[in-house]
Amino acid sequence: MIHAYVRVCCTFYCQSYGAEGNRSMGVPGEDLAGVYSAKDFVGWYNGLPSCRELSPDLSCETAVVLGQGNVALDVARILLCPLDILKSTDITQLALEALAESKVRRVLIVGRRGPVQVACTIKELREMVNLPDTRPEMVAADFEGVQEAVNDLPRPRKRLTELMLKTAMEVPGEKEQERRKKASRVWGFRFFRSPVEVLSDPDHKRTAGIRLAINMLEGSGESARAVLTGEVEDVTCGLVISSIGYKSLPIDASVPFDSHRAIVPNIMGRVQQATGLYCSGWLKTGPTGVIATTMNNSFDTARSVVEDMDSRRLDVSAGKPGSQSISALLDERGVKPVLFSDWEKIDALETRRGEAIGKPREKLLTVEEMLLEARK
Amino acid sequence: MAASAAVRSSMGLTLRLSRVIPDCSTCPFHRLKSCVGIVANSLRNRSFDNFQTINRHLQTSIGLYHSEEGTSGAEDSDDVVNVVYVDRSGKRIPIKAKVGDNVLYLAHKHGIELEGACEASLACSTCQVYVSPAHYDKLPEPDEREDDMLDMAPMLQENSRLGCQITLTPELEGMELTLPKVTRNFYVDGHVPKPH
């Protein structure tokens, strides 16, 4: 209801609230203890209040991450990162303490297709490769034919694939061999595998493993498709993190929403059949891309708005009440918004708390604590 | 018309307001004579909290004060380096800069709309510039982390570099830095869609 009111008060209204939901695997055993969505796991170590009580079980040796995008690599990196590096970041104290007790020593990052189809980008891969006290462990057969395909790839994909090939296949020099021998933690990509079931322990309470279907690739490059071969393989693990994509959720019944693609249907950011309604960011295109992609995406929407103003499709002459009217409504309902200056108080407190222990900030983990500080 | 000009300038305005001391002459509120607050010279060294326009109360603070970098000293001396920015509309903007100036912060100082989303931490590619060929070879080789970020840049060219990684030296006298035109079709892995 509030959305409809806001729209009436403004000349143009742009929704840009991203993708806070996640795609689920849709396999049996997904609800077992020890299975988490990357969205929740990332929310947990980043201090999102709704993820504070996640208490992920880190008592097993092997963790399997499903998905091979940047988020999957972030999860793997946090699971294996040496504590003395983590403790000077703004990771929550809660997560730091849990990771200090963690028994996880091996992380497999599993994808349906092959090395040339990974969704991650080179910066994140390089951070895994360079992670101290870890060594890579991959399956050479997975890289059959990749060296031959590399030269025809566009630059970003080429450099990424070359780094992967080097990490997986190249015989390391003496120094690197020594380093790998001493490493206490292991990570690796596993390709051509799709989850079919999360397997439980005899009491049917906790995760004991995951059953993966073995795929083969039909076609090549971006449009290659994973096709089931009928074979399966079981991997022992106690932690499964599914990182197969975020998903936008509809928040306003009056705004069209394509639930199949999980976006607001639009052309260049303009929502069709709705004057003055626009969208931007992941809500507009789906949850992919890096900062530059999303930035250009928002420039496109802004350009559409400017074009509509210039062509009079958007009528800016009709004075709209704007924020004053919305403030009045909130006031009437006893809603006290948090202003930027209030956020600055929260920011200052978190920064002070962090300074005391050598971190950029120590985050407040509940909305109550945040509001307490904001209202001071 | 004024409203659309304001929106068009808003991107640049956001950059100016959030990062450096605002250059009032380029601010649409100043040009529309609707800036009610006066920014005195004495405030240049402190963060200042607010200035008012017709119906908005804008608050700004200076996060990073780039007094050492990106400042145009403007005296003619041995450490002057003249560079030219070419903005997205093709307009040439000559700048009298200093040895040691950073190309990204220098652009911000002069109201040139070079985005720097990650604040020079090599986590994005939004400050991509095309360097004049004669000067490109005079730059030190990019760090592999810069190359990783350039992979993400739309319309990458042989002479692309990240502005935040370029520091001015006397050899770069006369360097031209062209801002890429923003493109619609941009895929993270470099895929170019077929025209249809």
Closest Cβ–Cβ partner in B123, B151, B182 for A296: B182
pLDDT at B85 over 90: yes
A132-148 pLDDT, tens per residue? Answer: 999 999 999 999 999 99
pLDDT at residue B63, rounded to an integer: 41
State the smallest CA–CA distance between residue B169 and chain A in angstroms: 28
pLDDT at residue A220, rounded to an integer: 87
Closest Cβ–Cβ partner in A222, A295, A322 for B115: A295
State the smallest CA–CA distance between residue B80 and chain A in angstroms: 33
- Note down pLDDT in tens along chain A; length 376 residues: 677 788 888 999 999 999 999 999 999 999 999 999 999 999 999 999 999 999 999 999 999 999 999 999 999 999 999 999 999 999 999 999 999 999 999 999 999 999 999 999 999 999 999 999 999 999 999 999 999 999 999 999 999 999 999 999 999 999 999 999 999 999 999 999 999 999 999 988 899 999 999 999 999 888 999 999 999 999 999 999 999 999 999 998 888 999 999 999 999 999 988 889 999 999 999 998 888 888 888 989 999 999 999 998 888 887 888 888 989 989 999 999 999 999 999 999 999 999 999 999 999 999 999 999 999 9
A207-242 pLDDT, tens per residue? Answer: 999 999 999 999 988 899 999 999 999 999 999 999
pLDDT at residue A254, rounded to an integer: 85
pTM listed for this prediction? 0.80
Tokens standing for A314? 């958007």
| DSSP structure class, residue A315 | -
Bridge partners, A213 (sequence order)? A194, A232
Residues from chain A that touch B28, judged by Cβ atoms under 8 A, are none
Nearest CA in chain A to B3: A316
CB contact under 8 A, B8 and A306: yes
CB contact under 8 A, B184 and A296: yes
Indicate the burial class of A16 (C-beta count within 10 angstroms; 0-12, 13-18, 19 or more): middle
Residues from chain A that touch B63, judged by Cβ atoms under 8 A, are none
User: Of A2, A15, A37, A8, whose CA–CA distance to A257 is shortest?
Assistant: A15
CB contact under 8 A, B11 and A299: yes
Annotated binding residue A290: yes
Tokens standing for A167? 């990490």
CB contact under 8 A, B191 and A289: no
pLDDT at residue B40, rounded to an integer: 40
pLDDT at residue B77, rounded to an integer: 77
pLDDT at residue B148, rounded to an integer: 95
Question: How far, in Å, CA of A340 to CA of B20, rounded?
Answer: 19
User: Of A191, A211, A189, whose CA–CA distance to A199 is shortest?
Assistant: A211
